[in-house]
Structure 1
Amino acid sequence: MCFGIISITHFLYHLTDPPEILLDVKCLAGLTAKAGSKIELPADILGKPVPKVKWTKGDVVLKGDDRVSIDDKPGHSVVTISKTTREDTATYIIEAHNSCGRATATVDVNILDKPGPPAAFDISEITNKSCFLAWNPPRDDGGAKVTNYIVERRAAESEIWHKLSSTVKETNFKALNLTAFKEYIFRVFAENQFGIGVPAEHMPIIARYAFDSPGAPTKLEPSDIVKDGLTLNWYEPEEDGGSPITGYWVERFEPDQNRWIRCNKIPIRDTTFRVKGLPTRKKYKFRVLAENLAGPGKPSKETDQILVKDPIDPPWAPGKPTVKDVAKTSAFLQWTKPEHDGGAKIEGYIIELLKSGTEQWVRVSEGINILEHFLRGLMDRQEYSFRVIAVNIAGESDPSEPSDPVLCKERLNPPTPPRWMEVINISSNSAELKWTVPEKDGGSPITNYIVEKRDVRRKGWQAVDTTVKELQYTVTPLNEGSLYVFRVAAENAVGPSEFCELEDSIMAKDTF
C-alpha cells in the first residue's frame, strides 16, 4: 500500500518542473547597438507545465507595435526591435511562471545616438556689439562623449541661420559683431561621434546695453578764433544715460559735402577742444556729442556759422561792379562793399580794367573811398570790363567778379535848354517870342522847339505849339489885360530839354 503511494508521488515529481530562463549568450553582458539598427533579445524557456512569458521595459509591460514584435513559442521567446532609437535604451525583463514557480532574467540595452539639446542655455552680458552665451552639457549625451558644440544665430526678421562656430569645446561662447539695436535668435547644438543633436534655442534678444546713450552737451561756445582753427568749450550733459560718459566727439558741418565730419579721431575726455587745420576765410558750424558704453548720444545745439580767420585779415572781395553810365571816353561805376571787412576798416578801393581781346588787367584808379567812381580817359569804340579790389590795413582783397562788358561810344542826351528868351513884341491878343539855340544839342541835331504859355492866375501850363522850327514864335490868342509867362524847350531824337522860362510876366495889351 505504501509502496504504491511513493511510486505515484515520484512519477508526478518528474512530470513538473519550475521555470528556467536561458538568455542568449550575446545578451548576458548587455546589448549595445547604434540607433537605427535592429536588435533581438532571444531566450530559451524551460519548465513543466510550459511557462507563460511576459516582457517588460522598466515597469511597463512590453507590447508589440510597428517597431516591436514579441514571438513566443514553446520553449523559446524573442523580442525584436527595428529602427531603434535612443529611447529604446532600458533594462528589459523577461518573466516566466507556471504552477511550479516563477523565474526572471534581465537584459541591459544601450542604443547609441546623437546627443540631446544642451541644458540651461542662457545669454548674458548683452551690449550693442556682443553677448555671452553659456549652457550645460546635454542631459543625454547619446551614449557617447560630446566632442564639441555648434553655435548659430539669425536675425529675428530672417529665416536664415548663420554659423558662428562649429568647434566650441567649452560650454560658453562670446558672440561678436552684432548690429546695435537689432534683434537676434541664438541656438546651440551638441555633437558626438554619432552626429549632431537637436538644438537648444534661446528666446530673442536685442543687441543693446541695459542703459541708454547720454543726453546732449550744452552751452557750446567758440573762442580764440584764428586763420586755421578755434577752441570749442561746452558743458557735460545733464543725463549720462545710466553709464559714465567715456568721451566726446566734435563735429563740423561741411557745406560743400552737405554732411557732418568728425574733428577728433578718438573720443576726448575734456569739455574743451582745439580744432586745427581749417581752411582760412571759410564759415563752419560745430556740434558736440557725448558717448558712453551704449554709444554716442544726441548732438548738442549747433553753433552759428563761424568765420575762420585771423583777427585782422584782408577783406573779402567787393560785389560785382555795375556800369551805370558809359560815354565816348568815360564810364560811371558802382559796387557794393565786401560781406566781411577782414576785421579792420576798409581804407579804399582799387579799380582795374580789361580791354576785350586781351588778358592783362590794368590798374587805373586807387584810393577811392566811396562805392562809386567816374572813370575818364577811356578809348572811343573800345569794349571794357571792370573789377574792384577792397583794401584794409592787412592788405588787398581778391578782385571782385568782373562787370559785364561795355562799349565806349558817343552818348546821346537831350539838348540843354534854349537861351536868351525874350518878348520882342506884345499886343492885346498876341506876343512875339525870340530865343537862341541851346549851348549843347546832346549829340543829336535839334529837331524842333516846344512853346508853352501860362496865365498867372492858373497853375497849369498850356502847350501852344510843339513843332516850332524857327528861333521865334508868335503866341496867339491872348486875353487882353491878362498877365502871361512863357517858356520854350528844345527837342532832339532823344527827347526834350528842360524849359527856358521868361522871368517876368507880360500883360496882353496894345503898346500904341
Structure 2
Amino acid sequence: ESKRMVWSTYSSSVLTDYAKVTRLIEGNEYIFRVRAENKMGTGPPTETHPIIAKTKYDRPGRPDPPDVTRVSKEEMTVVWNPPEYDGGKSITGYILEKKEKRSLRWVPVTKTPIPERRKKVTNLFPGHEYQFRVSAENEVGLGEPSLPSRPVIAKDPIEPPEIELDASMRKLVTVRAGCPIRLFAIVRGRPAPKVTWRRMGVDNVIRKGQVDLVDTMAFCVIPDSTRDDSGKYSLTLVNAAGEKAVFVNVRVLDKPGPPQPPFDISEIDADACTLSWHIPLEDGGSNITNYVVEKCDVSRGDWVTALSSVTKTSCRIGKLIPGEEYMFRVRAENRFGISEPLASGKMIARYPFDVPSEPKNARITKVNKDCIFVAWDKPDSDGGSPITGYLIERKERNSLLWVKANDTAVRSTEYPCVGLIEGLEYTFRIYALNRAGASKPSKPTEFVTARAPVDPPGKPEVIDVTKSTASLVWTRPKHDGGSKLIGYFVEACKLPGDKWERCNTTPYQIPLEEYTVTGLEENAQYQFRAIAKTAVNISRPSEPSDPVTIHPENVPPRIELDLSMQSQLTVKAGTNVRLEANVYGKPMPAITWKKEGEVLKPSEGVKITTQRNLATVELFSVNRKQTGDYTITAENASGSKSATIRLKVLDKPGPPASVKIKHMYADRAMLSWEPPLEDGGSEITNYIVDKRETSRPNWAQVSANVPITSCTVERLIEGHEYQFRICAENKYGVGDPILTEPAVAKNPYDPPGPPAFPKVVDTTRNSISLSWSKPAYDGGSPIIGYLVESKRADTDNWVRCNLPKNLQATQFVVTGL
C-alpha cells in the first residue's frame, strides 16, 4: 500500500507476462512492481503508478437544468433530460427538489426516486417564484444535483405560442419504409394553444396517422410509412396571444424501383456481351449503390448471378458458352434493398465476325547486334472486325519453340524485337488480332543473324563531269552487318544549300560502287554521298564528296596496258584470267571489248567491269576456244583509242581423230588411229591405250607410253568381246578418249572342212596303209597338216597316230597295230 510503503510478495512463480492480484481493500491506494528471474538470480524491478482499488462503476453525472413547461398559479410541470454520464449503470430514478427563489433550502418534491423525467408540482403559493433541480440515481448511488432551473412565478400567464423542436426534427427526418414516422415538439402558450399538424401538398391534409397532445408534447405518428409519405410537414399553434408554425422535412427510404428500358445487348462475342440500361425512375430516397445482373441459359431455365457489384448502367458479361441462348435481367440496389428486375430479350453467344486472315509479306527491315526490326503488310481481311493489334513471335534456328517478342499488342506494322543474342540466327512470324482472337501466323521471315549494323560506304570520288552529269566511285563498307549487300542509294546536295535529294529510287539500280548522277545543273556546285543497303539493313550516309562544279572537259581517250598485257599472255586451261587496261579521257570514254572482232558481252564465265579508270575482263576456267586477240576500244566525243591483248590458252589435247581395229586374232588385236585435231597448244608426248571386256565395267590399262599411232594389244581370251580406248597426252594433261566398236577375239579364218573318207590301200600283220582326198574347204588358210586317229573295233577310244605338222601328204601308214 502506498501509505505503508512496505512491499509484500504476491507471487514468485508467475510464468506469463501478466497476473491478476486479488484480496485488495477497496479505497486503498496500491503500487505494484515486477521482477524477472532466471537461474542466475532476480533482476531489478519495474514499478506501476499508484492506483486506487475501487469498482469500475460510478454514480451518475449531473443532469442538465430542468425546464418548467406548464405554469399556473398553483402548479407547474417540470421536465428534464437524463445525464450524459450514467456512471456505467442504468439510471434507476430521479429526485426532484424545489425552493423559492429567496430561500436557501431545497425541499424534495419526490420522497423516493421516480423513473419518469416529468413531474407535476402542486400546492404552490400563487405569486411566489420557484426554482427546481433534479438528481439522478443508479445502483451505486445518488449523483450530484443539476443546476437550478430558471425562476418561474406561479401564476396564470398569457404567453404567445412557442414551439421547441427536438434537434432530430430540425434536420431531415429519415425513416425506412414500413417503419413509423414519429414527429414531436414541445409546445408552450397561455392559454393552451390549438395544435394542428399538416402535410404540405395539394390539400395540406395528413390522410393517415395519429395526432396527439400530451402535456406540452405534440405528437404526429404515421405507422407503416411508404415513399408517398415523404414530404414537408407543418406544426401550427394558435391561441389568443398569437400564432406559431414550424416545418419538418421527412424522407422515407425504400428500395429503388426497377431499372428503366431499353435493355440493350451489344458487342456480342462468342463468350461475352455488353449490357446497358437506364437508371430507375425512383431511387428509393438513397443513392443507387450498384446493380445486380443475372443470366439465364434458356436451355436450362435457371437464373444465376453474373455480376453483383456493377456501379454503372452498363457492364460486360463473360464466361458465356459459345452457341448457347441466353436471357439477362438487372436489378438496382441501394442500402435499403434490391429492386424488381428489368429483363432483356434472348440472344445467342456468338461472334458476328471471324478472326483476321494472316498478315502478309513478313520481312526484316533493319538488323543490329541485339535488335531486329520486323515489318509486315496488313491482312487481306480483318474478319469483319477492326484489327486491334499484332503479336510477334521469334524462334532461333536450332530451337523448336516460338517465343513471344512483344508483351502487348502492336498497333503499327513494324516492331523492333529487342533482347536478342548477337551471332544467333532468328526468324519471326506475326499474328493479327481482332476481337474474335488471333489469326493464323504469317509465313516466317528468312533466318537472319543478329549482328552489328552496316558500315557506311567510303567517301565518293568524282571521276568524270559533263555539263549535266557527274560520275562517282566509292569503296564498299568495311562491314556489311552479316547480310548480303544488294545496292546503294546516292544523294546529291546543291551548294550552298543543305538539302540532300536521293538520285535513285531503289538500291537495285546501283549494285556496284559506281554511279553516274544525271540531271545536274550546269556550272552549279554539288556534293554527293552514298548509302549502303543490304537485304535487311541500311547504313548511315558516307562522308560527303569534295565539292565539284558541273561543267564539261574534253580530253581524248588514252589506254595504258600493263607490261604483262603488252606481250602474249599464255595460261593453262582451267585457270582464271584477268585482262586489264587503264582508260583515261574526259568525258569518261565508253568502253567496248571485242574478241577476234566480235563484241564481248558478259555471260557465264565472262565478267566485264569498269571501276574508275580500270577496265577489266575476267575469264573463268578458260579453255582453248578462248585463245585469241582481245581488243579494248575507248571512245568519247574527242576521239577513239584501241589496244589489243593476245591470249594463248594451253590445254590437254583433244581425242584422236579416228581409231580402227586393223587386225583381230584369237589372242591379240592390232589397233591404229589418227592424231588429235587439237593438240592443246603443245606437242603430243604419248598415247594411253586401255581395254575392257564388254561384260565388265572396269578398264584395264594396256600401255601408258605409246609413242606412235598404232599398238598391238595381246593376252586376249578367244571368244570374249573387247572394247578399246585411246587418249592423247601432252605436258598439260591427258585428253578425252576415243573408243573402238566392240569386237570378239578370234582369228580371221575358220578350221578346214573334213577330208574325204579314208581308204585302206594296203594291210600287213601290224600296219595299215591309208589314203584320202583334201577337204573341199580349207577355212580360208592353206592346209598345214593332217591328224590320223585309230581305235579298236570293240572300243570307243580314239588314239592319235601322228602330229599334224608332220603329215602334209594325203596318205599315211598306221603302225604298231
* TM-score bracket relative to the smaller structure: 0.3 to 0.5
| TM-score of the aligned structures, taking structure 1 as reference length | 0.46
Higher relative contact order (CA 8 A, sep 6+): 1
